[in-house]
Chain A
Amino acid sequence: MDTSKPPATSAPPVEDERVWKAGRLEPMPIRKLPDAPPSVHILGPTVFLVALGVGMGESYMWPRLVLLFGPEIRWLFLIGVTLQAVVMLEMARYAMATGESIFSGAARVFKPLMWFFFIVAMAVYIWPGHLSAGAAALEQISGIPWMVTAVAGLILVGVIFSFAKVIYNLLENVLSLLIGALVIGTAVVAAMVGSWNDVVTTITGMFAFGYLPAEAMTAAWFPVIVGACAFAGPSGMQQMWYTLHLRASGAGMGAHIPKVHGLRHAGEEEAMPSRGFMFDTEDPAEMAKWKGWRRWVTFDALLLFWGITMLVTVSFTVIAQAAVRQNPGVRDVIQNEEREVALTAMADAVSSAGSSVLGVIFLGFIALIGLNATLGLFDSFSRGQADMTYNFVKGAKKLRMSHLYAGFLWGVIIFGILILLFGPADGPAGILDTLAFLSTFAMGAYCVTLLLVNNRMLPKPIRPRWWSNVIIGCGAVFYLGMLFYSLFAFGVVVG
C-alpha cells in the first residue's frame, strides 16, 4: 500500500505515524478501525436514506405509472432501486474506510468536481417546494391552510435542530419512530386491501424487462418516466449526504470524527479534523474488522433500504389498484399533471370507494412522508454544505462546524419562508427545467465520482470488486443516457 513510514527513532512513537496519501490533499493518518457492531443491529444511519428516499416516487409517481401503463412498467423501478442499493454500498465504502464525506473524496480527485456538487445543492435544494405536497395533504385532513403548516414546520425544524445537543441522535430517534409507523401502517393497509393477485401482477411486472408501451415513448410521458426512475429510492444528492450521516453515526473510521452539535451546544463540540483517517489494510486483523463493517452495511442496504422501499411502493401500488377497481374514473383523473390535484383525486377515489377513513389514512401517509423528507432534507443539505465550506473555504475553520451548519440551516429556512410567502415554491418557472435537469444529472455525475474516488483514493485491498464497478458504470449510463435521450429526442428534460 502507498503509505510512507518515517525512519525509526530511538523513542517509540506515541501514535502511528504512517499516513495514506490520497490525491493531492492532506494525507490521512493511519488509525485503528473500530470493531464492527457485535450483532447485525437493525438501527443505523440507513434510516436517513429511507426517510429521504421513500417519498413522492414511491407514494405517487410509480403507482400512477402502474395505473397508466400497467404493472409491467415496474421493471424500471426494480432497476432504479437495485442500482441505488449498490450506490449506497459504494458510498458507504469510502465513508467507512476514511471517515470523510464523498464530497471530500471528490475534492481529492479533482476539486472543481466537489464545487459542482456544492453549486447543484444550492440551486436545487433551497426551494421549499418539497414541503407543499405534505402540507397540502395535511390541509385536506385538518383544514389548516397549507401555507401556515409549511411556515410553522420550517421554523420548528430550525428551533429543534438549534437546541439539540447532538443533532444526529435526535434526528435518528424522531425519524425512526416516524418511519416505523409508516412501515407498519403501509404493511397493514396493504394486508387489508390487497390480494395475492395484485402482488402477483405487481411483482411479475418487475421482471418484464424491456417493456415500454408506445404511449410511454412520447414527449408527454417519457420525461415523466425518466423523472420516476430518478425518484426510485433516494434522488438527487441524497446518497451523497448519506456518507455524512454514516460518519455521524460513528460507522467505521467515522468513529474518529466528532459529531456536529446544535447551535446552543456548539461550545461543547470538539474541533473537527481537516481530513479523515485510514486503517492498515495490510493487517489481517484490521481487514477482518472491515469485513464485519461491510456485512453490517450490506444488511442495511438489502433489508432496510431495498426492502422498505419495495414494500412501500408495492403497498401504495396495491392501494392504487384497489382504488381503480372500486372507481375506474380515477385512472383519468390521475393523468392530471398537477401533483396535488392527482394526489387529492387518488385520496378522494379511495374515500368514495368505501369510507373517508382510508382517504384520511392515505393523506396522512403523504403528510408523514412529507414531514420525513423535510426533516431529513434540511439537515442533510446543511450538513453537506457546512462540510464542504469548513474543509475547503479559506478561513472557515475559524468557525465551528456547528456554526456553519446553523448558518446554512437558518439560511435555507428564512429563504424558504420568504419564497413560500412571496415567490414560486418550486423555484422560478423559467429555471424549473434546469433544476430538474441538474438533479438527475447529479445522479449520473455521482456514479462517475464514486468510480473515481473508490478506485483511485482507496488502498487496493478495499477497492470495489469489478462487478460493483460495472453496475455503478451502468448507473451513470442509465441516468445520463435517459436524461439526454429525453432532451434530444423529445426536447423535454424530466417530468
Chain B
Amino acid sequence: MIDRHSLELALPGASIGAVAGAMAGGLTLFAGVPTGLAALSALMLALPLGLFGGLYGVLLGRGVFRPGTFGPCGLYWMAAFPLSRLVQESVAGTGGLAGGAGGFLLYQAMVSLGFAIGFVWIHERLMPHWLLRVAPANPQAEALLGLYVHHAEALRARKGARR
C-alpha cells in the first residue's frame, strides 16, 4: 500500500518522467500528426514515464535502490522505458511499430540506458533538496535523507583528512 509519505518521495522522479514524456510527445508533430493526436501522444508518454519515475522514488525510499547507483536504475528503465513507449505507440501510434514490435522494443531498450543516465543524474540533484523540505513531517523521507547525509559526511571526513 502506497501512503502519503511514499507519494511525497515519488514527486521528484514523477516530475522528471512527466516533463521528459511531455517534451517527447511534442515531437510526434514531427511526423505531421494532427495537434489533437499529438497532445494525446504527449500525454500517453508523460503518464507512464511519470508513473515509473515516481515508482523509482518510492522504491528508493524502501531501500530497493541505493541513492546514486546506476546499475539497478539502468535495468529498471530498460524495462520501464520501452513499456512506456509501447503504451504511447499503442494508444497514439505514430508508426513506430511499423517495423515490428521486436525491433521496436530492442531499440527502445537501448535508448533507455541513455534516458536512465539522465534520469539518475537529475534525480540525484533534486532529491536531496526535496527531502530537506519534507523530512520534518515524513519519517520515510527522514530515513532516506539520513543516507544522503551519511554520504555527505563520508565526503567531509575525507576533506577533514586535509592537513
Contacts and interface: CB of A to CB of B under 8 A. Distances in A.
Interface stretch (A144-152, A187-195, A375-383): A187-195
Interface stretch (B5-13, B54-62, B65-73, B130-138): B65-73
Contacts of A34: 157-159, 161
A421 to B, nearest CB: 36
A22 interface: no
B interface secondary structure, majority: helix
Contacts of B150: 38
Interface stretch (A107-115, A300-308, A339-347, A392-400): A300-308
Contact of A196 (B23, B107, B112, B118): B107
B103 A180 contact: no
A180 B69 contact: no
Contacts of B108: 191
A35 B157 contact: yes
A34 B156 CA distance: 10
Contacts of B99: 195-197
B24 A192 contact: yes
A354 B32 contact: yes
A192 B30 contact: yes
Interface residues of A, number: 53
Contacts of A193: 27, 30
A185 B121 CA distance: 13
A224 to B, nearest CB: 27
B27 A357 contact: yes
B111 interface: yes
B95 to A, nearest CB: 10
Contact of B30 (A31, A258, A315, A358): A358
A299 B71 CA distance: 11
A311 interface: yes
A188 B122 contact: no
Contacts of B40: none
A177 interface: yes
B162 A180 contact: no
A40 B74 CA distance: 14
Interface in A243-292: 250, 255-258
A191 B162 CA distance: 46
B103 A196 contact: yes
A183 interface: yes
B70 A40 contact: yes
Interface residues of B, number: 51
A258 B159 CA distance: 9
Contacts of B27: 188-189, 192-193, 357-358, 361
B103 A177 contact: no
Contacts of B121: 42-43, 176, 179-180, 183
Interface string B108-124: 10111111011111101
Interface string B137-158: 0000000000000110011011
B32 to A, nearest CB: 5
B26 A357 contact: yes
A130 B50 CA distance: 37
A351 to B, nearest CB: 9
Given A199-B110, A256-B163, A354 B30 contact: yes
A405 to B, nearest CB: 20
Nearest to B156: A250
Contact of A187 (B94, B118, B122): B118
Contacts of B29: 354-355, 357-358
A233 B125 CA distance: 24
Contacts of A187: 111-112, 114-115, 118
Contact of A188 (B24, B66, B161): B24
B151 A177 contact: no
Nearest to A310: B114
B106 interface: yes
A311 B121 CA distance: 15
B154 A38 contact: yes
Interface string A23-57: 00000000110110111111100000000000000
A184 interface: yes
B155 A37 contact: yes
Interface in B24-58: 24, 26-32
Given A183-B121, A256-B162, A353-B30, A39 B24 contact: no
Interface in A357-406: 357-358, 361
B124 A191 contact: no
A183 B118 contact: yes
Contacts of A257: 162
Contact of A199 (B32, B94, B107, B157): B107
Nearest to A273: B163
A258 B119 CA distance: 32
Given A40-B70, A177-B122, A250 B159 contact: yes
14 contacts: A32-B161, A40-B68, A42-B68, A180-B118, A180-B122, A181-B122, A191-B81, A192-B28, A193-B30, A196-B107, A256-B161, A307-B117, A311-B114, A315-B111
Closest 3 CB pairs of A and B: A184-B118, A183-B118, A34-B158
Given A35-B157, A40-B70, A358-B29, 6 more contacts: A188-B20, A188-B23, A196-B99, A256-B161, A308-B114, A308-B117
